[in-house]
Structure 1
């Protein structure tokens, strides 16, 4: 039985990067629907896609948080006159 990654997709969408999180949620929903129909091949395929998009969302979210932190630090540094 394939994992549908529905909860991780929701969390990735809310807390990481919503554009790719939405794709993960759609793929997770497709996997869940395929499992309920008994289509295990399609469920497995959509589950793998959902997992991939969850990982992409997390990675992009972390990168964006780091970049925003760096930019905020540089902005703070330039406004305080520290070198």
Structure 2
């Protein structure tokens, strides 16, 4: 008689039966979409929804790649927003204070 394979969820540290907590990035993705730069923010939201789909399917590899991509797009959007807002304030300040 051969043993039947287990269908329980296993985590990377070897514990069987425990589900790992997956950090959900939807709030940061919505924040950067609304307040920083919406085109790349939409990409961040799309990647966050991929995280949720992979979590429901139980696909750990796609979950990790989607999580990395979502963090990347959130960071790009935030940095782009900071650069644009800083540039706008710099130009406005230059026009107000340095105009002859």
Greater RCO, CA 8 A, separation 6+: 1
Cα pair distance change 1:4/1:45, threshold 3 Å? farther
Superposed CA RMSD in Å reads 1.2
Structure 1 match to 2:28: 8
The secondary structure found in structure 2 opposite 1:72 is helix
Deviating above 2 A after TM superposition, structure 1's stretches of 4 or more consecutive aligned residues are 1-4
What 5-or-longer segments of structure 2 have no aligned partner?
1-19
Structure 2 match to 1:50: 70
Point out the structure with max Rg over C-alpha.
2
Structure with higher helix content: 1
What 5-or-longer segments of structure 1 have no aligned partner?
none
The secondary structure found in structure 1 opposite 2:73 is helix
Contact 1:6 1:28 in 2 (8 A): yes
Equivalent pairs counted in the alignment come to: 79
Provide TM-score, normalisation by structure 2. Answer: 0.73
Structure 2 match to 1:41: 61
- Mapped partners of 1:39, 1:8: distance in 2: 23
